[in-house]
A and B are shown apart, each in its own frame.
Chain A
Amino acid sequence: MVVGKSESFTATLQEAPLIEPGHSYASMTEKISDIVLTKPHPRSWAIVFLTGLSLLMLMLYAVLYLFIRGIGIWGINVPVGWGFAIINLVWWIGIGHAGTLISAILLLLHQDWRTSINRFAEAMTLFAVACAGLFPILHTGRPWLVYYLIPYPDTLGLWPQFRSPLVWDVFAISTYASVSLLFWYVGLLPDLATMRDRAKNRFARVIYGLFALGWRGSARHWHRHQVASLLLAGLATPLVVSVHTVVSWDFAMSIIPGWHATIFPPYFVAGAIYAGFAMVMTLVIPIRHWYGLQDFITIRHIENMAKITLATGLIVCYGYLMEAFMAWYSANPYEQFMMHNRQFGPYAPVYWTLIFCNGVVIQALWFKKVRTNVKILFGISLIVGVGMWLERYIIVVTSLHRDFLPSSWGMYAGTFWDYATFLGSIGLFLTLLMLFVRFVPMISGFELRELWWKLNRSAKDEASDKAAA
């Protein structure tokens, strides 16, 4: 351990350190920027990148065919008009939430452990939102007319239907995407400047230099940077709650049994954070291993994320219980039928798999042994990802396929094109993520240095600071 830590930090550091000992400003900066600038990339990087790229090509193929033939190639029809596109939208948007929670709420709450994962998680948010945004656009069937969704003074003399949550969705998601992008980029500026200064190659220096917007690290720059970051964090904080709330209203504002429930907003938000943290773990665990980042993303980070996953997972389980309870308690035959149909109808296997993934498997996270074993955690977080996708499948499909009128019941199944587009979106996500790892410092260097400074200040320093203030 580094000598001379302040008392207050010794207490928090009892479990595992936030930065492994033996580092200095220089060694940290070097380690982070060398991943991009000098070190050869591991073979695993290339494998994941190529897999992602091939899936992305599959998506391009599926989307091209979609443009030629229309959305009839998907499995949707009366009565299930919302299929994979909506399931995937909700799934991806949810995943993004962890990044915003880490970067905004944990920043405002002064949680130091966010530092080494925030850049990465925010990038994940951006890419997840990009994948999410694709689906409603494709689902319109005429993506070239998607600007109809934006209110502007057109020659039709019509505004979008402001009473519809689908329009609120447009605002919620586009706000979310722009704030996330800004926040991420502002946080990136000092590190881009570091990259500019450290790059040997002239081309890299010009590119990083352009994106660094002339950052020179003057006191005024740092001051403005801090103010901007805090303001953006303040803006992003309500978004963590509001975006998925609006997405849940897409369902809750309708009168379909199983959708029309007040529990939807909190239940969706918890599910979002739950899925998001699982996704961060799915990504961080292998990447930290490939690049030897165990010093910065320590077992403490991983364990904290596992704890949040457990906590939010339990809220989600409570949501499942309440859905069943309310269906019974409402004494409404349609609600009761919906619940019965979910649990014992044709989609029962999907429902019980979902309960197994999200209700049973995560109970393992109560044990510290599990929370500190990265291999098991990786497996669990994959299972959580699957579970959350199935949850959306159950919500969308089981409510629609048998509603009020038995004469218009039907069954739903995704077609090849549904799966191709879904897998393709995972490809898009992986491709973007691998490019990010390749070209941008994936850990926030300047925040790590700041944290190091905080952790290593002696009591004497602190006292003299106090005296000066």
Chain B
Amino acid sequence: MAQVFHRSLNSISRFGIVGGAILAAGVALGLAAAYRSSLVTQVNISRAQPVPFSHKHHVNGLGLDCRYCHTSVESSPFAGIPPTQICMNCHSQIWSDSPMLEPVRKSFRTGEPLHWTRINDVPDFVYFNHSIHVHKGIGCETCHGRVDRMPLTWKANPLYMKWCLACHRAPEEYVRPREEVFTMGWKPAEDQDLLGARLVKEYHIQKLTHCSVCHR
């Protein structure tokens, strides 16, 4: 009886076994890398907004404090997105006929708020609170990056649970003096190890890693 398969199938199948294993490992690595890349996390990718609002102009150029616009960041879980009224404090006077600002003026006339596109958004099953972080000396920059250099806002961190936990497990590596929370580009004057350890004691910072801290 003739052979069912040609001789060459021996090498093909050997190659197939090795190749299959490499392929499987490659696909697994590729998926893992994709899940961590900005393709999925949107880190460093700016989004179109109804008005091309620039933190770079307003924070860096004009020197506005975050709290001027994000009014509730110190007192509530929600940092707050400024109402049109706040923009109009200035833009009823300056650049008042700029075509780029037409949506702001329209919103002011009609009373319908601007529909900003969300950048940072944790899933609904996660509880996040700004005020505690601000009060325990975690700077906006630590989580949101150099906002003062963003012509259009983007996400600076993936907001994966692992990322939250990295700080909750070792807050001393990130904590800064309360006065510096809103400062952009702050550098510790002394060694962060010493400063961090001191501040953790001073602010009574705990290591909150129970599941129910964030999943309530």
**B127 contacts the other chain (Cβ, under 8 Å)?**
no
Check A196/B161 contact, CB under 8 A, given A155-B35, A157-B166, A214-B10: no
Query: Interface on chain A toward B: helix, strand, loop, or mixed SS?
Result: loop
B10 touches A155 (CB 8 A): no
Chain A minimum-CB-distance residue to B36: A155
Check A157/B9 contact, CB under 8 A, given A197-B1, A206-B4, A209-B4: no
A158 touches B4 (CB 8 A): no
Which residues does chain B contribute within 8 Å of A154, judged by CB atoms?
162
A155 touches B13 (CB 8 A): no
CA gap between A323 and B182 in the complex, in Å = 66
Interface membership of chain A positions 191-226, coded 1 if the CB is closer than 8 angstroms to chain B and 0 otherwise? 000001100000001100100011000000000000
Cβ distance A220 to chain B, nearest Cβ, rounded Å = 14
A214 touches B9 (CB 8 A): yes
CA gap between A214 and B9 in the complex, in Å = 9
**A109 contacts the other chain (Cβ, under 8 Å)?**
no
Check A157/B4 contact, CB under 8 A, given A214-B9, A214-B10, A214-B13: no
A158 touches B9 (CB 8 A): no
B36 touches A205 (CB 8 A): no
Which residues does chain B contribute within 8 Å of A158, judged by CB atoms?
161
**A156 contacts the other chain (Cβ, under 8 Å)?**
yes
Chain A minimum-CB-distance residue to B41: A155
Which residues does chain B contribute within 8 Å of A213, judged by CB atoms?
13
Check A209/B161 contact, CB under 8 A, given A155-B36, A214-B10: no
A157 touches B162 (CB 8 A): yes
Which residues does chain A contribute within 8 Å of B163, judged by CB atoms?
157
Which residues does chain A contribute within 8 Å of B51, judged by CB atoms?
none
Which residues does chain B contribute within 8 Å of A153, judged by CB atoms?
32
Chain B minimum-CB-distance residue to A198: B1
Which residues does chain A contribute within 8 Å of B125, judged by CB atoms?
none
Give the bracket for the number of chain B residues in contact with chain A: 10 to 19
B9 touches A155 (CB 8 A): no
Which residues does chain B contribute within 8 Å of A209, judged by CB atoms?
4-5
CA gap between A359 and B84 in the complex, in Å = 81
A-B contact count (CB 8 A): 30
Which residues does chain B contribute within 8 Å of A196, judged by CB atoms?
4
Chain B minimum-CB-distance residue to A216: B3
Interface membership of chain A positions 167-210, coded 1 if the CB is closer than 8 angstroms to chain B and 0 otherwise? 00000000000000000000000000000110000000110010
Which residues does chain B contribute within 8 Å of A206, judged by CB atoms?
4-5
Which residues does chain A contribute within 8 Å of B161, judged by CB atoms?
155-158
Which residues does chain B contribute within 8 Å of A157, judged by CB atoms?
160-163, 165-166
- B1, B10, B162: the one within 8 Å of A156 (CB): B162
B4 touches A155 (CB 8 A): no
Which residues does chain A contribute within 8 Å of B35, judged by CB atoms?
155
Cβ distance A164 to chain B, nearest Cβ, rounded Å = 15
CA gap between A462 and B162 in the complex, in Å = 69
CA gap between A373 and B33 in the complex, in Å = 63
CA gap between A112 and B166 in the complex, in Å = 60
**B171 contacts the other chain (Cβ, under 8 Å)?**
no
CA gap between A389 and B67 in the complex, in Å = 66
CA gap between A196 and B3 in the complex, in Å = 10
CA gap between A158 and B214 in the complex, in Å = 14
**B158 contacts the other chain (Cβ, under 8 Å)?**
yes
Which residues does chain A contribute within 8 Å of B5, judged by CB atoms?
206, 209, 214
With most chain B CB atoms within 10 A of its CB, the pick from A153, A157, A196, A214 is A157
CA gap between A206 and B6 in the complex, in Å = 11
CA gap between A155 and B166 in the complex, in Å = 11
Which residues does chain A contribute within 8 Å of B1, judged by CB atoms?
197
Interface residues of B (CB under 8 A from A): 1, 4-5, 9-10, 13, 32, 35-36, 158, 160-163, 165-166
Task: For the complex of A and B, list the 3 residue pairs with the smallest distance between their C-beta atoms, beginning with the closest.
Answer: A157-B162, A155-B160, A209-B4
7 contacts between A and B (CB under 8 A): A153-B32, A154-B162, A155-B36, A155-B162, A157-B166, A196-B4, A197-B1
Additional A-B contact list (20), CB under 8 Å, known A196-B4, A197-B1: A153-B32, A155-B35, A155-B36, A155-B158, A155-B160, A155-B162, A156-B160, A156-B161, A156-B162, A157-B160, A157-B161, A157-B165, A157-B166, A158-B161, A206-B4, A209-B4, A209-B5, A214-B5, A214-B9, A214-B10
